[in-house]
Structure 1
């Protein structure tokens, strides 16, 4: 089982040192503040650091990447201004590797494959549409998937992204008839009880921005029965 260093106020800390902190995001948490006014995960982490180290004044925290609100899994933050641009560069150059797990009800056409689409975002409804060829305003999207476990009524897929587009995994899987469990926006017929979608950022591999060590971090699966049946 993946290790959790600390779990306080529903914050699961997976890794922490002087420069970075990695947490396991819950469904419903927003990584950064938005128009809803809900307290974002970044502020929760700041409060955790302020309490842990008894810091006076403001706590520095840099947001490196985000996850959609209904998804769960691994999120990396920078604790120093020195580390943040280096981490941003890793993600921009795609040398940081994220792997996702997701549950779909319908079996994909192949046990493994590559999906290539052109995605176009509609800001009005915060939704992307997948096309099989380029259209005006679209961006190319590539992902690789494989079935890693078959459950009674669902398939567990492992996803590796080659590009990072808006709602990419959600819309590309939906486009092949495999919407993610609970994802009403992209065609699943029923919501999950906790309003989540069954998409989990499982692992993150990257080189530490200061120590230059290679790290591989894994986020424990959500506690519901179906996800727990996915532990390999």
Structure 2
């Protein structure tokens, strides 16, 4: 739940980067004027710290609006370039926790599919290899807990496609709880959290690692 104070969600901040725990329901960037989003909240926060100076804020990766979790923003063009390079080179490690009611056939595995986004519906679907506009998507998963017919799954993303985890898990027969778009249950909010992010600090290349505990209703029955 968005408190309205961006300071409540900042995990780390310096002259080059800002790391935040985005709450579920808040967009990273919103096209609708007057609607709250992470970008606007952070820019307002930075402007108040240095009035009269237009703050730089680079969005280098995103989370879907209903997904909570860790995001790193660039505070300088140099940091934006370096972080974007890590993402495109597969050097930024993203770990998620997801909840499903469907028992996976295997306790752990790798999902590889080709996804295509439909801009009209803002949804993606698994399609055949070679389909025009399709992109390869790959993730690995591991069941780490089972609690009252719900399964807590750890997911590592190897690619970053539109709605990737939600689409691939649903296609594999494991739709996420609360995922109304892709066949999940409707009893809770979306059970998906970007719980861990590891990257190299722009310039020094020092390893930076951040973890958060999911706050969503779907996770409350698990020991985290």
Query: Normalising to structure 2: TM-score of the pair?
Result: 0.91
In the alignment, which residue of structure 2 is the partner of 1:198? 191
- Whole-Å separation in 2 of the counterparts to 1:231 and 1:213: 31
For the aligned residue pairs, the C-alpha RMSD in angstroms reads 1.9
In the alignment, which residue of structure 2 is the partner of 1:27? 24
Render the CA deviation track for 1:152-176: whole Å, top value 9, x for unaligned. 1210101111111111100100011
Matched ranges for 1:118-129 at <5 A: 118-129=114-125
In the alignment, which residue of structure 2 is the partner of 1:99? 95
- Whole-Å separation in 2 of the counterparts to 1:202 and 1:217: 8
Query: Structure 2: where are the runs of 5+ without partners?
Result: none
In the alignment, which residue of structure 2 is the partner of 1:76? 72
Shift of 1:55: 3.1
- Whole-Å separation in 2 of the counterparts to 1:32 and 1:197: 19
* Among candidates 89, 114, 118, match of residue 110 of structure 2: 114
In the alignment, which residue of structure 1 is the partner of 2:215? 222
Shift of 1:100: 0.6
In the alignment, which residue of structure 1 is the partner of 2:57? 61
Partner SS for 2:177: coil
Q: Determine if the alignment matches structure 1 residue 136 to structure 2 residue 132.
A: yes
Shift of 1:9: 1.1
- Whole-Å separation in 1 of the counterparts to 2:222 and 2:85: 33
- Whole-Å separation in 1 of the counterparts to 2:154 and 2:18: 25
Query: Normalising to structure 1: TM-score of the pair?
Result: 0.88
**Cα distance change on mapping 1:77 and 1:112 into 2, 3 Å:** same
In the alignment, which residue of structure 1 is the partner of 2:185? 189
- Whole-Å separation in 1 of the counterparts to 2:157 and 2:186: 26
Q: Determine if the alignment matches structure 1 residue 212 to structure 2 residue 205.
A: yes
Number of residue pairs matched by the alignment: 221
Shift of 1:137: 2.4
